[in-house]
Amino acid sequence: MPHRQRGRQHRPVRRGAGLPPIRVPVEEPVTDTTAPSSPVLSDEQRHVVEQDVDARMLVTAGAGTGKTFCLVRRLAFLVEEEDVSAADILVLSYSRAAVREVRERLSRAGSAAQHVDVRTFDSYATRILSEADPDGSWQTAGYDGRIAAATHLLRTDENAAGFVEDLQHLVVDEVQDLVGHRAEFVKALLELAGGGFTLLGDPAQGIYGFLLEDPVQRRQGAATLYAWVRERFAEDLTDTTLSHNRRVRDSRAGVAHAQGVALSRADADFAAVHRDLRTSLLAPECHLGALDDAWPVIADLATAPTAVLCRTNGQALRLSAHLHERGVAHRLQRSGLDRVVPAWVAGLFTAFDTTRPSKEAVLAHLEAALKQAPIAAQQAWTLIKRMDGNRGNRLSVDLGEVAARLAQGRVPDELVAPAPALLVVSTIHRAKGLEFDNVIVVDPGPPSGDLADEAEETRLLYVAMSRPRDLLLRLELPSELTRGVYKNPEIDRWVKRHPGAQHQFKGRRYGMEIRGDDVHAEDPAGTVGFTAPARAVQHHLASTRLTAAPVTLVRSDEQDAGAHQRYVVHHDGVAIGVTSQSFAWSLQKEIGRQHARPDRVEDLRIDCVETVVGSQAASINNDMGPFGVWLRPRLVGMGRFVWPKKGQPA
């Protein structure tokens, strides 16, 4: 009975915090019925799963009701019972994380449905454009531009429309996240779909309304799309709900779920729902207290999957620094847009004397290289081979082709999945779709009073409070931790300034958010900004345990080609990288062109060491092979500026 053991394990910690122990009844073993291996379908889930292939369904699936489990079983039913070819089914979802989760569950289930095409909306829009308009101007557009272009093609071009008309079944996951261009894209798909469809989502969790400029549309969120579906397909739409929560193992962790129905209504009273949610969060059994007293409890709770959820990334950065200072191991949740290729991939490009090593040789290398990694050699080989254009040759891999795919960012989602961590610090947006044993919500305070913001704040609070299985707690951040922390819209980064210096330069800036691409990738470390044997720096990056290690940016005497100030990344006295132009540009915008640059930037950590692709010429010139693939440190944190002392040159 593993859950009984978990309860005993947490009891001393919870008592020390004045919290009641978790009790799981001995006579009722707890099982995770959302797991893909579970054979049990509830009646309401079976009603969704076993509809015929032509059915048109809108499924409202509240938090923890087994939506993804139901989706996977629905796909298996269509393929195995309805004899639908996997090639005639398409699954679309909002995020890469959701796509990866569906793919992994299909693979683990061993169903023929594992061959169903599962994509993000962005990926499918790009596929349509690539085949129907390969030379179009969309290639220079961003995500929204590509989706808008694909929507236009679907509505005006017969060839593009043919993509959808031939489908027997379309599945759209996370419908509540579809606003703006993505909502119009799905409308176009549904209007063209010749077969059935299954739409799954939870309006109460629609937290991307902030992408819309119109305040009325922001307040309505996905309710507009839901209303359109119900009106457009009124004659044959099956409108059903999954209501039974299968996530929560302790009722006290599920206090938010009762608000899901009220929050899903198009005319929701957001002020009342927010008040009820926060009243539950303020209850004594959720009280964890202030951060200075609570951090030991947070550390102890992290023997099981635990998340600390913040309203903004500025809060998350400051909280993460506070925990690091006290030696509390954790991972700061990355943005879903970050595609971080693990360090072991770079090792493939220097391990062989040939550009086409055999499968046997690659597997032998991976067996040795991945002993401490959360991935098996065979799985790693499969992911690498997926980036090789020569699928017919299963006995070797073309490293040149793999390097080209890496440079284009065309990598399997499974390859860039973040490493597991027991304690995660995250924004609520970045934790959406995830679940944890314990969830600690940073107290958001009362709503702002703005009607559009009130709707978003209420949905966000609901999402945060509906993540836990066992334990929900409230954390208070000291005001000094986030005082003077602002979002600079010009550089799209969080910064720390003197309070009151929000809009103009008054005295010194105190710090700036550091991002993953702030370390130069085009050349190997040691060849630009500072001089060191490039291979020796690579060896240090590959062989030293650097995750969460502190680093300092030290101002260099060098400037880049754009006359921007460079900083050298130092770890424990060793130079391991140099800052990029994007960092220099952001620093200049934040400080001002006419003002001095800081001597150093401190309070930074290494998120991980990642594989990057740069200049092939630089690679050859530094005896690092022909591929231009190497390692760089990926940094994270709210950097603290250290300024020149009086009398020192700026």
pLDDT at 216 over 90: no
Angle at 390 between CA 360 and CA 112, to 5 degrees: 85
Ramachandran quadrant class, 619 (left: phi over 0; alpha: psi -120 to 50; beta: rest): alpha
Task: For residue 609, give both structure tokens.
Answer: 């060491």
Tokens of 262: 């009220």
More confident residue, 414 or 35: 414
pLDDT band at 564 (very low <50, low <70, confident <90, very high): confident
The CA–CA distances, whole Å, from 487 to 241, 494, 512 equal 39, 4, 10
Q: Which residue has the higher pLDDT, 161 or 358?
A: 358
Residue 210: which of 455, 493, 575, 538 has the closest Cα?
A: 455
pLDDT at 22: 33
Rounded Cα–Cα distance for residues 118 and 100 (Å): 9
Please compute Rg for the chain using Cα positions: 26
More confident residue, 43 or 564: 43
Binding site for ATP, residues?
A: 61-68
- In terms of CATH, what superfamily is 262-337+419-482? P-loop containing nucleotide triphosphate hydrolases (3.40.50.300)
DSSP secondary structure, 166-208, as one string: T-SEEEE--GGG--THHHHHHHHHHHH--SEEEEEE-GGG---
- Over residues 588-596, the mean pLDDT reads 84
Long-range pairs for 443-449 at CB < 8 Å and ≥24 separation?
443/281, 443/474, 443/475, 443/476, 443/477, 444/278, 444/311, 446/274, 446/278, 447/270, 447/271, 447/274
Q: What is the percentage of the chain residues whose pLDDT exceeds 70? A: 91
pLDDT value at residue 108: 86
Rounded-to-integer distance, Cα 239 and Cα 197, Å: 12
Give strand pairing partners of 198: 57, 171
pLDDT at 650 over 80: no
Structure tokens given for 219: 């307040």
What's the rounded Cα separation, in Å, for the pair 302 and 556? 40
Q: Options 3.90.1170.50, 3.30.479.30, 3.40.50.300, 3.40.640.10; which CATH number does 43-246 get?
A: 3.40.50.300
Residue with tokens 């703005």: 450
Residue 40 has pLDDT above 90, yes or no: no
Asked if the domains 43-246 and 262-337+419-482 are classified in one and the same CATH topology, the answer is: yes
Compute the distance between CA of residue 356 and CA of residue 76 in angstroms, rounded to an integer.
37
Indicate the burial class of 214 (C-beta count within 10 angstroms; 0-12, 13-18, 19 or more): exposed
Please, which residues bridge with residue 609 across strands?
Answer: 633
Give kind and range of the element (H or E) at residue 193. none
Would residue 495 be called left, alpha or beta, if left means φ above 0 and alpha means ψ between -120 and 50 degrees? Answer: beta
What's the gap between Cα 511 and its chain centre?
Answer: 25
Q: pLDDT tens for residues 438-472?
A: 999 999 988 877 777 888 999 999 999 999 999 99
Which helix H or strand E contains 609, and what residues bound it? strand 600-613
Mean predicted confidence (pLDDT) in 341-348: 96
- The helix (H) or strand (E) run that includes residue 315 is helix 313-325
Mean pLDDT of 365-378: 90
Distance CA 24, CA 250 (A): 7
- Please report, in range form, the residues annotated as the binding site: 61-68
The pLDDT-based confidence of 37 (bands split at 50, 70, 90) is very low
Strand partners, 611: 341, 631
pLDDT in the model for residue 69 = 93
The closest alpha carbon to 470, from 193, 316, 285, 267, belongs to 285
Average pLDDT score, the chain = 87
What is the SS3 assignment for 384?
helix
pLDDT at residue 162, rounded to an integer? 84
Predicted local distance difference test score (pLDDT) of residue 518: 97
Does the model's pTM come out above 0.85?
A: yes
Instruction: Return the amino acid letter for 591.
Output: I
DSSP for 204-263, please give it. Answer: GG---GGG-S-HHHHHHTTHHHHHHHHHHTTTTEEEEEE----S-SSGGGGTTGGGHHHH
Confidence of residue 288 (pLDDT cuts 50, 70, 90): very high
Reading the block at residue 270, the tokens are 């957001």
Structural domain boundaries of the chain? Answer: 43-246, 262-337+419-482, 343-408, 486-642
pLDDT, mean of residues 53-62: 95
Instruction: Let me know: does 525 contact 541? Beta carbons within 8 Å.
Output: yes
Look at residue 3 in the predicted model and tell me its pLDDT: 37
User: Has residue 21 got a pLDDT over 50?
Assistant: no
- 493-536: pLDDT as tens digits: 999 987 655 555 444 679 999 999 999 999 999 999 999 999 99
The count of other CB atoms within 10 Å of the CB of residue 412 is 16
User: In the prediction, which pLDDT does 646 show?
Assistant: 67
Instruction: Quote the pLDDT of residue 390.
Output: 78
Q: Which residue has the higher pLDDT, 125 or 96?
A: 125
Detail the DSSP E strand segments found in 316-442: 331-332, 341-342, 423-427, 436-442
Between CA 118 and CA 124 the distance in angstroms is 9
At 294 the pLDDT is 95
Percent over 90 (pLDDT), the chain: 64
Within 10 angstroms of residue 35's Cβ, the number of other Cβ atoms is 12
* Helix/strand/coil for 378: helix
User: How far is Cα 582 from Cα 385, in angstroms, rounded to an integer?
Assistant: 32
What pairs with residue 509 in β-bridges? Answer: 497
